Amino acid sequence: MIRVAAVGDVHVGEEVDEGLRRDLATLGECADVLLLAGDLTRHGTVAETRCLTAVLDTVDVPIVAVLGNHDHHSDEVDGVVSELEGAGVEVLEGTSTTVEVGAATLGIAGAKGFGGGFVGASASEFGEPEMKSFVRHTRDVADRLRSALQDLRADRRIALLHYSPIEDTLHGERLEIYPFLGSYLLAEAVDQGGADLVLHGHAHAGSERGVTPGGIRVRNVARPLIQRSFRLFELDEPSPAASAAS
Amino acid sequence: MSEPDRTPDAYVIAHVREALATDERVAELGIELTIASSTLVLNGRVASTAQRDAATAVATELLAAQLPDLEVRNDLEVVDADAGPAGPEHVT
């Protein structure tokens, strides 16, 4: 059994989050890895990131993260990533990593994602440069995510995002803002690249559960939505026969 | 419009929403705003009491310039993230 703890949108400011610290300190008892689905900070400053890494200090399992839009707000992304990596957090952006859990390998491909909307109500790469640039960013991120998943050799695979790949997990948010909350291009990338589970955040007022058009489970783990320090998932290790066949 | 000088409610909501997103004391994009009669109501969830209180301050400061007669009612819920972990979901 591979045990995964996940949370997004912890939005750490320049103060100690005691609730988060307390819950994460005992994480090793129930999880083999911690996944952070973006918006780790409130304004994306290095100072806030230090407050987060101080809290993560107590975590004794591997930590893998993607950034969110808030983590970009102060244009200190390089510093934020350095601080996280210095604390042992692996930060993914169109890249992947693996974590050994017993005899099994868990693969995680991650990307921030971006907006653009969903089938029938999505932005196109057409018109003004700003519009084309907006959609092209989503397409680039999705392409890198697809490649990362396709190249990922692991027994079980998780796609880690900040923005949502589907509408289901946005239900509860206002319909008008869906194009700012995610893009179907992300779901298409995951369905083509393959995964056992997709985790994302960003939509604080959304819903927890959904599925991609290709049938892959999607879970929104935004902390304001789950109202906990993290959600837990258990993935079966593949049977020896299945491993040999793959 | 009976009062041509009064900023239409829709623009007030837009301005407050932008202020709540960009003011670093709040930095929250998901706050729902409604103007009901002479009250601006803030709804949704924030992470801390400080953030909730700052939302009132930001909205009040902005309204003082645009619509001083509008009251602010802060119904924001502070998320209790201290519930501890729930049981795991099994992914087959």
Q: A229 pLDDT band (50/70/90 cuts)? A: very high
Sheet holding B32-36, edge to edge: B32-36, B39-43, B71-74
Residue A14 near chain B (CB below 8 Å): no
∠A223-A160-A204 over CA atoms, to 5°? 25
Gap from B37 CA to chain A (nearest CA, Å):
22
Q: What is the per-residue pLDDT across B4-38, written as a single tens digit (0 to 9) for each?
A: 567 788 888 989 999 999 999 998 888 889 888 78
Residue A43 near chain B (CB below 8 Å): yes
- Taking CA atoms, A131 is separated from A115, A123, A128, A139, B24, in Å, by 12, 8, 5, 12, 27
Whether pTM > 0.90 for this model: the answer is: no
Extract the tokens encoding A206.
Answer: 């959304």
- A:B CB pairs within 8 Å: 74
**What pLDDT, on a 0 to 100 scale, did the predictor assign at position B1?**
47
B82 CB neighbours in chain A (<8 A) are 19, 22-23, 229
**What pLDDT, on a 0 to 100 scale, did the predictor assign at position A33?**
98
Residue B4 near chain A (CB below 8 Å): no
> In this structure, which amino acid lies at residue A132?
K
Q: What is the per-residue pLDDT across A92-115, written as a single tens digit (0 to 9) for each?
A: 999 999 999 999 999 999 999 999
Residue B36 near chain A (CB below 8 Å): no
Contact between A80 and A46 under an 8 Å Cβ cutoff? The reply is yes
Which of A109-113, A156-160, B73-77 bottoms out in mean pLDDT, i.e. has the lowest?
Answer: B73-77
